[in-house]
Structure 1
Amino acid sequence: MLLKVQNLRIVYKNSAIIEEINFDVEKGEIFSIVGESGSGKTLTGLSILNLLPDYFKVDGRIIFKNNDILSLDSSWIRKIRGKDISCIFQDPMVSLNPVLKVGYQVAEMFIYHHNLSKKEAIKNAEKIFNELKISHVINYYPHQLSGGLRQRVMIAMAIACEPELIIADEPTTALDVTVQEEILDLLYLLIKKKGKAMILITHDINILGEYADRLMVMYAGRIMEMGSVEEIFKNPLHPYTRALLDCIPREGKKIEGIPGNVPDLKKLPSGCVFSPRCKYKMRECPIEPPSLREVIPGHFVRCYLH
């Protein structure tokens, strides 16, 4: 087991905005976290790297290669970030340093984590840029690049030290469809070819059938459903999962939206957090929150219907 998250709970201003999060990630696996914006996906991902601001209180255990990340001091965390666990953030324009050439920004990974000289680090960066077929931009600044090229630079930074786990947080949000497919194909090949693992955070359930092995559906900071992509696509059990799948465009079928909005994580409704938007709501739903149950081996759901 590469990563195991146990009873993760994130508290903000005395409100538990993320609660009862349990999952694991194996080597060679692409594990996806899916849900609408505001569901707590990014907060969950950032907690794994201990990147949340101090005003968030994080409880539980995040075990990576037999080490509990939440118990490590900041110096150990800095050694892990980038080297063992890396992250591809949502907006590369904000994440990249605007006054440094992108090639040097990738080279910094080798300087910091492997104590290489600047000359040796630049050579290593050149190899990665060649592998990603972007060698022509190594001496460019971020503002000189398109969104797709900036995201490829972020991928270069993420894979520079060959980390065991990559957290990709909405890596294709601002890209057009063709570039989005290229980026996801590239990540998929890198993970599968090198036997690494990835947590793919997205709100687009449409892309998961081709790229992910397992998925966790989140809503309002809670797990609604979790299992293999094949099983959930074939047999979605939670009304929220079904609603997300109904949003996928299909020939001859009208796209059905989900009425209402994701609630404020600091002001959650009582009972099942999805009940105000659920067309299958029962009498007990607004009263007592259902527990997460394993309905069939490996397939979990939080709903009174099962």
Structure 2
Amino acid sequence: MLLQVQNLKIFYKNSIIIDNINFCIEKGEIFSIVGESGSGKTLTGLSIINLLPEHFRINGRLIFKDKDILNLNTSEIRKLRGRHISCIFQDPMTSLNPVVKVGSQVAEMFIYHYQLSKKEALEKTKELFHKLKILHTINSYPHQLSGGMRQRVMIAMAVACEPELIIADEPTTALDVTVQEEILDLLYLLVKQEHRALLLITHDINILGEYADKVMVLYAGRIMEMGSTEEIFKNPLHPYTKALLNCLPREGKKIEGIPGNIPDLKNLPEGCVFYPRCSYKRNECIAEPPYLHEVASGHWSRCWLD
């Protein structure tokens, strides 16, 4: 097992905003966290590489290759980032240095982690850019590139040191549909051909059927449902998962939105956190929060109806 997240809780000051998250990722696997904006997806991903903002606190265990990340010191965490676990953020313009050529920025990965000379690092960068079919961008500044090309540069930076785990946080949000597919195809090939692992964070459940092996549906910092992608699509159990799937465009079917808004993570409703928006709600849903239980082998749900 490459990564095991056990009983993860994230606190903001005195409030629990992410509660009791458990999942694991194996090499060669694409594991996706899906949910609306504000559900806690990004916070969960950032906790794995210890990049949470100030005032956040983590409890639980994050076991990566038999080591608990939460027990590592600052120096050990820095060596882990980029070399063993890397991250692709949704907006490359906020992650790339606007006054440094993109080739030089990727070369810094080789200099820092492998102690290569600048000349050697640039040669390695050329090889990597050639492999990703973006060699022509190596001497460009970020503002000179399209959104799709900038995201490819971010992917180059993420895979430069051949990390075992890549965390992709909404990597295609700002891209058009055609470029979106190209980026996801590239990530898919990198993971499957080179036997790496990908944690794909997205609010777009539509892309999961083609790319993800397993899905965790997150809502208000709680797991609503988790299982194989095939099982989630064929037999969704939780009302929230069903509502997300009903938002997908289908021929001859009207798109159904989800009424209401996701609650404030610091001020959650009593009982089931999805209760105010659920079309299946019953009295017991507000009386006591449901627990996450295994309905079928490898298929988990948090609902009194299951």
Q: TM-score, normalised by structure 1?
A: 0.99
| Secondary structure of 1:11's aligned partner | strand
Match of 2:217 in 1: 217
Match of 1:207 in 2: 207
Q: Does 1:136 align with 2:132?
A: no
Alignment of 1:109-128 (within 5 A): 109-128=109-128
1: CA distance, partners of 2:53 / 2:207: 31
Q: Does 1:291 align with 2:291?
A: yes
Alignment of 1:2-21 (within 5 A): 2-21=2-21
2: CA distance, partners of 1:205 / 1:87: 20
1:40-65, CA deviations, whole angstroms, 9 ceiling, x for partnerless residues?
Answer: 00000000000012310100000000
2: CA distance, partners of 1:126 / 1:68: 35
Match of 1:67 in 2: 67
| Secondary structure of 1:286's aligned partner | helix
Amino acid of the structure 1 residue aligned with 2:6: Q
Match of 2:158 in 1: 158
Structure 1 unaligned regions, length at least 5: none
Structure 2 unaligned regions, length at least 5: none
Q: Does 1:195 align with 2:192?
A: no
| Secondary structure of 2:33's aligned partner | strand
Match of 2:81 in 1: 81
| Secondary structure of 2:168's aligned partner | strand
1:231-275, CA deviations, whole angstroms, 9 ceiling, x for partnerless residues?
Answer: 010000000000000111111100000000001111111110000
Q: CA deviation at 1:13?
A: 2.2
Q: Aligned pairs, how many? A: 306
User: Quick one: percent identity of the two aligned structures?
Assistant: 76
Match of 2:226 in 1: 226
Q: TM-score, normalised by structure 2?
A: 0.99
Match of 2:40 in 1: 40
Q: Does 1:273 align with 2:294?
A: no
| Secondary structure of 1:284's aligned partner | helix
| Secondary structure of 1:98's aligned partner | coil
Match of 1:248 in 2: 248
Q: CA deviation at 1:304?
A: 0.3
| Secondary structure of 1:108's aligned partner | helix
| Secondary structure of 1:300's aligned partner | strand
Q: Does 1:94 align with 2:94?
A: yes
Match of 1:26 in 2: 26
Amino acid of the structure 2 residue aligned with 1:195: H
2: CA distance, partners of 1:54 / 1:141: 31
Q: CA deviation at 1:284?
A: 1.1
Amino acid of the structure 2 residue aligned with 1:117: S
Q: CA deviation at 1:68?
A: 0.3
1:179-202, CA deviations, whole angstroms, 9 ceiling, x for partnerless residues?
Answer: 000000000001000000000000
